[in-house]
Structure 1
Amino acid sequence: MEVIATIVAVVLAAPLVLMTATFAIEVIAGLRATPTARDGAIDVPETVIVMPAHDEATIIAATLTRLLPELPPTHRVLVVADNCDDDTADIAERAGAGVLRRNDPTRRGKGYALAHARDHLAAAPPAVVMVLDADGATDRESLVAMARAAATRPVQAVNLLSPDLAAAPMVQVSNFAFVIKNLIRQRGLWRLAGRVNLTGTGMAFPWPVFRDAGLATADIVEDLALGLELARRGQLPGFAADATVWSAASSAEGTLKQRTRWEGGFLATSRTRALPAIGAALRAGDLRGLWAGLSLAVPPLTLLLLLDAAGLMLLALLALAGASAWPAVLLATLLLLSLVALAVAWARVGRPFLSGAAAARLPLYILWKIPLYLGLARKRPTSWLRAGR
């Protein structure tokens, strides 16, 4: 009986140990800032910033008012008003941006909007195509850095939510989780795998890569899927660590809606692509590709913590039934290491995003997310959702 209980404990603990170890190592690797590589001797390539916009009349003017004065002389903005029922297109034109109108109710989604822009640009293509969301903000130095980096390979800038310590605690915790995903873990992935994930806004491509990319898709995490497809072709997305793109933080309701979209899409992509990527890397002896596959297998932070907590409880029960305690001890150690790494990340870069008082409510945030995961277990979101502004 004890042998059987130990075997069950090992089988239960193995995937949790692997995912938690991957998360901890990646966070630790990302704690140190990535050296920047600004080179003023390199010409800034001609760049078109494509901005997909679906019913963004309430914010598009403010976005363009911030962005247009920051444009280098080599850059211009092209707004794709996609299946809009409001006057997004007219407002964008009055603000001074180029505008494309797209109406196709049967093919909805950001991927189709990007493909529409690509078809329009094909007659006179720029050197670089950059993608910014309709609520995005950045600065001239970041635009220049992204354009230069994307002259030779696809790249992703640091994509963060604007910090707001006056926001609801659940929003602050979610914004900090965004910092872990899009800054700390991206740094770690870049160091360990030589590539990063595309995150939808602040990504840039050489024209030949953008021209040949599989954009016309309704995938709700089209950015993640696109980065994985480019990596499969050998066009590994690089990390433009000296460029930052900011998006507006949302309300608690909007945050939950957007996390539902992203996490549902991520989990679906992870289930279908992580194991094949790991297997392919093992067959090829590609250690960096192996790490990228392992990283893709790690669930979102809150879900990982929930799984570890549930796993530890089951392992404790198995230990009481006679199983070895080592699987539980190993998992608990890795979980503690992960929490320490998160605390260090908060101390170094997370304070503007998460107050100490809000951090103390992390257990409530985890409970807040449980209905989300129960909903995802029943039905994966399939539409192009945007957070409430």
Structure 2
Amino acid sequence: MSRSHASGPDMNSIVQSLLMLSLAALALPVCVLFFQVLFAVRAKASPRDSTGVRPSVDILIPAHNEEAVICRTLAHLTPQLLEGDRLLVVADNCSDQTATIARCHGAQVYERADTERRGKGYALDCGVRWLEYDQRDVLVIIDADCIAEPGTIEALAVCTQRSGRPVQSLNLMTSATPDRRSSRIAEFAWVVKNHVRPLGFGCFDLPCQLQGTGMAFPWWLIATASLANGHLVEDMKLGLDLAEQGYPALFCPQAKITSTFPQSAAAIATQRLRWEHGHIGMILGTLPRICLTAARNRDAPLMALALDMMVPPLALLSLLVAGVAVSSAFYANATGIWLPAAGAAMLSAMYFTAIALAWWKFGRRIVSFLDLCHTLGYIVWKIPLYAKYFYQKQVRWIRTERG
């Protein structure tokens, strides 16, 4: 009996310590998300001035078997070109008519064939090396399935030249199947990630993550960047690499890029697996080093970027917050110790307030309140995706099929 009484309090203290550590680990990403949303909701005007004399641009489009979509992309881009601009499509290991269609629309085309070095990073590196011998003022990268809204190239080019830093456009994705609730929820989550959060940071001139498309760079900066890799989230890696060099990306919401989520369930699963495993891998593998570097160098923009990267995908963050809240409640009920439960309640309140504010200001046209109440099913559906990270992690870049 005495051993039982002696060991009981020790086990309680261990569980309590684990719960408090979990709360502390979640506090930073939840607080970052909360304040990003709060300031985005309060933003009265765009934080970035993109007016001025438009410099010359090179536009680089990496493309792999994009014959179904590249015609539309080029049709929206070519009216935005001025005399002296260049448009290059890197037809990367294509087996369709991508190169032919691009040439018919007046683009220069480089056909790359390398089945060993596969991935968007290699295509980008190839394009940069081809263009740099006769470079313009600014390089703009746009994916082959994206639509550049009118004025996008001008806004990106002017902002890049004025700041001397990388610039990220507003990058939105819409659902190809809006009648499906899960698709609408995914579209809302994308808005929070790519619009609300960078807008909130942009109010204080803090940097944002690069998002792979709608990115612009001064030529002298991108020419020295390390692009030739098959990293799952090559855009996030590039943004961190440049931020470590002292050139974090700026958010320019006047420039707008849109695209559509894949239609097939298999393509959606492949895309999300790559994005979310890549993001988790960056959090677990790269984030500690970035935080140490930022702290050691007293680099506030780099630390802000690290804090932003610390916020995991919304579905995963929802799972973690709910898991700690439920565990704390069970612990409080069993032991009568309510400190972890009180902390979990405060954290949950901040998180769900942030989601509610983001929905009210930016998401009501996408998801209804009823949709929002049914997100539990969407979150549960994604548990196997996160579980795969620990037993079947994706490590190789795989292109998402458009169909």
**TM-score bucket (shorter structure):** over 0.9
CA shift digits 1:59-87 (9 cap, x unpaired): 11122223222334454321110011112
Name 1:230's counterpart in structure 2: 242
Question: TM-score if structure 1 supplies the norm length?
Answer: 0.93
- Does structure 2 retain, via aligned residues, the 8 Å contact 1:51–1:133? yes
Q: Is 1:25 aligned to 2:47, yes or no? A: no
Name 2:167's counterpart in structure 1: 155
Q: Structure 1 residues 202, 124: closer, same or farther in 2, change over 3 A?
A: same
* Secondary structure in 1 matching 2:360: helix
Name 1:129's counterpart in structure 2: 139
Q: Which runs of 5+ in 1 are unaligned?
A: none
Higher relative contact order (CA 8 A, sep 6+): 1
Name 1:170's counterpart in structure 2: 182
Q: Pick which of 216-225 and 42-51 moved more.
A: 42-51
Q: What is the aligned counterpart of 1:82 among 82, 87, 92?
A: 92
The separation in 2 between residues aligned to 1:234 and 1:292, in whole angstroms, is: 12
Q: Pick which of 73-82 and 279-288 moved more.
A: 279-288
Q: Is 1:301 aligned to 2:314, yes or no? A: yes
How far does residue 165 in structure 1 lie from its aligned partner after superposition? 7.6
Q: Structure 1 residues 45, 330: closer, same or farther in 2, change over 3 A?
A: same
How far does residue 274 in structure 1 lie from its aligned partner after superposition? 1.3
Q: Which runs of 5+ in 2 are unaligned?
A: 1-8
Name 1:251's counterpart in structure 2: 263
CA shift digits 1:168-190 (9 cap, x unpaired): 11111111111000011112333
Q: Pick which of 282-291 and 134-143 moved more.
A: 282-291
Q: What is the aligned counterpart of 1:374 among 387, 393, 397?
A: 387
Question: TM-score if structure 2 supplies the norm length?
Answer: 0.90
How far does residue 193 in structure 1 lie from its aligned partner after superposition? 7.0
The separation in 2 between residues aligned to 1:147 and 1:138, in whole angstroms, is: 13
The separation in 1 between residues aligned to 2:137 and 2:351, in whole angstroms, is: 42
- Does structure 1 retain, via aligned residues, the 8 Å contact 2:102–2:109? yes
User: Map of 1:112-127 to 2, 5 A cutoff?
Assistant: 112-127=122-137
Q: Structure 1 residues 144, 293: closer, same or farther in 2, change over 3 A?
A: same
Name 1:383's counterpart in structure 2: 397
The separation in 2 between residues aligned to 1:323 and 1:290, in whole angstroms, is: 39
2:251 counterpart letter in structure 1: F
How far does residue 163 in structure 1 lie from its aligned partner after superposition? 5.7
The separation in 1 between residues aligned to 2:154 and 2:205, in whole angstroms, is: 25
How far does residue 49 in structure 1 lie from its aligned partner after superposition? 1.1
The separation in 2 between residues aligned to 1:180 and 1:206, in whole angstroms, is: 28
* Secondary structure in 2 matching 1:150: helix
Q: Pick which of 189-198 and 121-130 moved more.
A: 189-198
Q: Structure 1 residues 328, 252: closer, same or farther in 2, change over 3 A?
A: farther
Q: What is the aligned counterpart of 2:377 among 364, 367, 372?
A: 364
Q: CA RMSD in A?
A: 2.1
CA shift digits 1:315-369 (9 cap, x unpaired): 2232234363222222222222222222221221212332444333211111221
1:179 counterpart letter in structure 2: V
Q: How many residues align?
A: 388
The separation in 2 between residues aligned to 1:74 and 1:342, in whole angstroms, is: 45
Name 2:6's counterpart in structure 1: none
Pick the structure with greater CA Rg.
2
The separation in 2 between residues aligned to 1:11 and 1:36, in whole angstroms, is: 36
How far does residue 118 in structure 1 lie from its aligned partner after superposition? 1.1
How far does residue 375 in structure 1 lie from its aligned partner after superposition? 2.0
The separation in 2 between residues aligned to 1:316 and 1:58, in whole angstroms, is: 52
Q: Is 1:98 aligned to 2:111, yes or no? A: no
* Secondary structure in 1 matching 2:201: helix
1:196 counterpart letter in structure 2: C
User: Map of 1:184-195 to 2, 5 A cutoff?
Assistant: 184-191=196-203, 194-195=206-207
* Secondary structure in 1 matching 2:303: helix
The separation in 1 between residues aligned to 2:371 and 2:17, in whole angstroms, is: 40
Q: Structure 1 residues 51, 195: closer, same or farther in 2, change over 3 A?
A: same
CA shift digits 1:177-223 (9 cap, x unpaired): 11000011112333457211000000000100110010111112100
Q: Is 1:339 aligned to 2:352, yes or no? A: yes
CA shift digits 1:123-168 (9 cap, x unpaired): 1111111011111112231210001111121110110013668341
How far does residue 272 in structure 1 lie from its aligned partner after superposition? 1.4
How far does residue 282 in structure 1 lie from its aligned partner after superposition? 2.9
Name 1:141's counterpart in structure 2: 151
